[in-house]
Structure 1
């Protein structure tokens, strides 16, 4: 009986600490999602700069594009995968 009473008291004493820990985890998850979104957007901008000539935007010199090409291989695979999908509101009218 004494052991269960002690556990109950410890449980109640640690409640504020557990609450703050879960609160912290929620904020951490929120900001990690924001950072991942920002990284994806920067990758999209990077690809747009390198391959903007496909849609009529001026592009950097060809030599610079070729030197940066190894860094966008994954982006090329993503663009290829999206271009084969059906047109919808989510993919947009150009299929990307």
Structure 2
């Protein structure tokens, strides 16, 4: 089976569980990053809170980077659950 195949998350109960955990983590990170960006934006309205706003943007950016990491982690997890020969066939 190919990597990044959207049908892979239903292959087995272990696949479903891994997908669910990663989706929860992805959603928490996505929400947190968005919240930090909104709060950081509000902090830019006053000059004395600009420094804190900048740090919230930096942390939010790191969280957005973690989103891709979660997807890669999920795909590696699928590979561990599958037969590695499936990757070369796909």
TM-score (structure 2 length as normaliser): 0.41
- Name which one, 1 or 2, has greater alpha-carbon Rg: 1
